Chain A
Amino acid sequence: MELPVISNAAIPNSGCRSGATADRGALAHLPDHIRVRVQDHPCYSEEAHHYFARMHVAVAPACNIQCNYCNRKYDCSNESRPGVVSELLTPEQAVKKTLAVAAAIPQMTVLGIAGPGDPLANPERTFATFRMLSAQAPDIRLCVSTNGLSLPDAVEELARHNIDHVTITINCVDPEIGARIYPWIFWNKRRIRGVEGARILIEQQQKGLEMLAARGMLVKVNSVMIPGVNDEHLQDVSKIVKAKGAFLHNVMPLIAQASHGTYYGLTGQREPTQFELQALQDVCAGDMAMMRHCRQCRADAVGLLGEDRGEEFTLDKIDAMEIDYGAAMAERARVREAITAELEMKRALKAVPKFEEAATREETTTRNLRVAVATKGGGLVNEHFGHAREFLIYEAGPGECRFLGHRKCTPYCMGDESCGDGETVLGQIIAALEGVEVVLASKIGFEPWNGLESAGIRPNGEHAMEPIEEAIRMVYDEMAAAGKLDTVVVDTVARAA
């Protein structure tokens, strides 16, 4: 089973890799100059997201549609989901913040505008921000995400500002299904409800996608998986958007808690399980390059994917910073070059065929193994178990290893002296790690170690600071050699397929 991941699409395969193959890489169909545009973008490249940072600036408050998973009232600083922001910025403030962040975090390659409303429903604020940034920080890539309703009208201007990537959220191509997701849209000076509103929205999304693709702009499609509403339908969506020129499909799980005050949250619409999400991603992957490392960021997120350093860059804190913008840009160029060189070296190493290993592996019939990894970036096993806010899940087989996604959790140890809620939290972490047999972390405390073991999960702290995929390969080979992977207990791949 081949599951292309864009990061190492064109690399000949051997050993442990993120699932791409040489001949059928997810981005193999793209010309080189486009692939280059993607490989240092954390939101597009699974490999890049360990190294490069991004930020969103919240300049776009207005929206022109209502989604049943969104509540425009909420604005909590302790909540993390799309559409939530703490501080709305003017374009001038947004530029100031972007330059401050890009000076403090030289790994920053990408600035996106994603809300909290719809960026293209706020064209003046959105484009004013882009215009200033492309003049003042030309090395930073600009992206925008949209619900698509105003997209056809904006394509011209997006192209003019040299916007690199556009993300369209497309949850359906069938207006009947759309009516269960979007209660209304604002169109031609009036609110249009139900199937008619959904029909117009879908038409605009598809038209916008075609127009962007015709101009050679990179389009990613986001879809929210809503069990019982569009879960089966998303397979068709995936095929259609690929045919129209989208290069990546990101199927995300619905977030629906009653405490968020959304229609879905309050009416008991359930969220998909991690297994259901992965199964759908696997099915769609037959037709379309899938993104699996999305963290469903806030519209004002800052830093590496999975972390949010927004608190360090509030407006008053930025005012107090002294920044040498020229030096910051030079430092970014240096850091970017170093990371790119490191990644190229890693790709080259992976490309060296290991014939002997491959030959011996083919004879064995070991089963697949799911491994959870605690990392804070850099592609390394470098986070303490107790500090991890999420685990990256990989599935290793005899000849390959692929990234499946991430599972969020409350850290076992919140950093203060007492880990008072440790036991309950550990229970939640173990539940989040369903299906996982090994946990890799740079360090694992005595108590969680025992808890994990009694739950049938092997804690492993022997691979601290090692590259994730190499560490997984070593663990896999070790367990295979010890005969621990011989018997096919649960064939997870077969189930997913």
Chain B
Amino acid sequence: MALEIVNACIGCHACEPLCPNRAITAVMKSGQPLFAIDANKCTECLGDHELPQCAEICPIEGAIVDEYGEPLNPPGSLTGIPFALFEQIREAECHR
């Protein structure tokens, strides 16, 4: 069992220092950190914390998923933004 950080991650570094197993690391890719969880080290915080710390602090819905690909913070669960408005969010994404 291990958690995974997917593309939605914005690289905010919040999870990295919280991991009791130091399983979270970042590689730099075109100036942006790309975070990943080492599946061999991740215990989902079992035995250390009641709840997986990376998912508890992560501000981005859908950025951390379990072994079945299910997001620990599903859409709407952190921002409270209603589903009906999600299309608008995608339209508003900043394309630099």
A307-B78 Cα distance, complex, nearest whole Å: 34
Complex contact B92–A259 (CB within 8 A) = yes
A62-B32 Cα distance, complex, nearest whole Å: 14
Complex contact A72–B12 (CB within 8 A) = yes
Instruction: For A68, list chain B residues within 8 Å (CB).
Output: 79-80
Complex contact B14–A61 (CB within 8 A) = yes
A483-B11 Cα distance, complex, nearest whole Å: 62
Query: Is B60 on the interface with A (CB-CB < 8 A)?
Result: yes
Query: Is B29 on the interface with A (CB-CB < 8 A)?
Result: no
Query: Is B39 on the interface with A (CB-CB < 8 A)?
Result: no
A310 to chain B, nearest CB (A): 15
A66-B60 Cα distance, complex, nearest whole Å: 10
Complex contact A66–B59 (CB within 8 A) = yes
Instruction: For B27, list chain A residues within 8 Å (CB).
Output: none
Closest to B59 in A: A72
Complex contact A62–B12 (CB within 8 A) = yes
Complex contact A63–B59 (CB within 8 A) = yes
Complex contact B14–A258 (CB within 8 A) = no
A68-B80 Cα distance, complex, nearest whole Å: 9
Closest to A70 in B: B59
Bits for B6-25, please: 1 = Cβ < 8 Å to A, else 0: 00001111100100000000
Complex contact A266–B85 (CB within 8 A) = yes
Query: Is A191 on the interface with B (CB-CB < 8 A)?
Result: yes
**Interface locus among A8-16, A101-109, A181-189, A442-450:** A181-189
A121-B80 Cα distance, complex, nearest whole Å: 23
Complex contact B60–A73 (CB within 8 A) = yes
Most buried by B among A64, A71, A75, A117: A71
Bits for A155-199, please: 1 = Cβ < 8 Å to B, else 0: 000000000000000000000000000011010011100000000
A33-B20 Cα distance, complex, nearest whole Å: 46
Complex contact B94–A74 (CB within 8 A) = yes
Instruction: For A470, list chain B residues within 8 Å (CB).
Output: none
Query: Is B56 on the interface with A (CB-CB < 8 A)?
Result: yes
Contact pick for A266, options B12, B32, B89, CB 8 Å: B89
Contact pick for A73, options B10, B82, B85, CB 8 Å: B10
Query: Is A492 on the interface with B (CB-CB < 8 A)?
Result: no
Complex contact A66–B11 (CB within 8 A) = no
Instruction: For B56, list chain A residues within 8 Å (CB).
Output: 186, 189-191
A150-B56 Cα distance, complex, nearest whole Å: 17
Complex contact B81–A267 (CB within 8 A) = yes
Query: Is A127 on the interface with B (CB-CB < 8 A)?
Result: no
Complex contact B13–A122 (CB within 8 A) = yes
Q: How many chain B residues touch the partner (CB < 8 A)?
A: 29
Instruction: For B85, list chain A residues within 8 Å (CB).
Output: 266-267
Number of A-B residue pairs at CB separation under 8 A: 78
Instruction: For A61, list chain B residues within 8 Å (CB).
Output: 11-14
A120-B64 Cα distance, complex, nearest whole Å: 24
Complex contact A117–B12 (CB within 8 A) = yes
Complex contact A76–B94 (CB within 8 A) = yes
Complex contact A64–B57 (CB within 8 A) = yes
A190-B56 Cα distance, complex, nearest whole Å: 6
Q: How many chain A residues touch the partner (CB < 8 A)?
A: 33
Query: Is B40 on the interface with A (CB-CB < 8 A)?
Result: no
Complex contact A66–B79 (CB within 8 A) = yes
B31 to chain A, nearest CB (A): 7
Closest to B90 in A: A261
Bits for B30-53, please: 1 = Cβ < 8 Å to A, else 0: 011100000000000000011101
Complex contact A76–B96 (CB within 8 A) = yes
Complex contact A263–B81 (CB within 8 A) = yes
A74-B10 Cα distance, complex, nearest whole Å: 9
Complex contact B81–A75 (CB within 8 A) = no
A261-B61 Cα distance, complex, nearest whole Å: 13
Most buried by B among A183, A191, A259: A191
Contact pick for B78, options A64, A75, A122, A184, CB 8 Å: A184
- CB proximity to B under 8 Å, residues A50-89: 61-64, 66, 68, 71-77, 79, 87-88
Closest to A84 in B: B94
A66-B58 Cα distance, complex, nearest whole Å: 10
Complex contact A260–B92 (CB within 8 A) = yes
Complex contact A267–B50 (CB within 8 A) = no
A259-B85 Cα distance, complex, nearest whole Å: 12
A260-B88 Cα distance, complex, nearest whole Å: 10
A165-B78 Cα distance, complex, nearest whole Å: 32
Complex contact A62–B14 (CB within 8 A) = yes
Complex contact A261–B59 (CB within 8 A) = no
B82 to chain A, nearest CB (A): 7
Question: A263 with B12: in contact, given A72-B59, A189-B51 (CB under 8 Å)?
Answer: no
A201-B81 Cα distance, complex, nearest whole Å: 22
A261-B95 Cα distance, complex, nearest whole Å: 13
Instruction: For B78, list chain A residues within 8 Å (CB).
Output: 66, 183-184
Instruction: For B94, list chain A residues within 8 Å (CB).
Output: 74-76, 79
Instruction: For A79, list chain B residues within 8 Å (CB).
Output: 94
Q: A75-B10, A186-B14 are in contact. List 5 more A-B contacts (CB 8 A).
A: A63-B59, A68-B80, A76-B94, A190-B51, A261-B88
What are the nearest 4 A-B pairs in CB distance? A62-B14, A76-B94, A61-B12, A186-B57
Can you identify 21 A-B contacts, CB atoms within 8 angstroms?
A61-B12, A63-B59, A66-B59, A68-B80, A72-B59, A72-B60, A73-B60, A76-B94, A77-B96, A117-B14, A186-B14, A189-B49, A189-B50, A189-B53, A190-B50, A191-B56, A258-B88, A258-B92, A259-B92, A266-B88, A267-B82
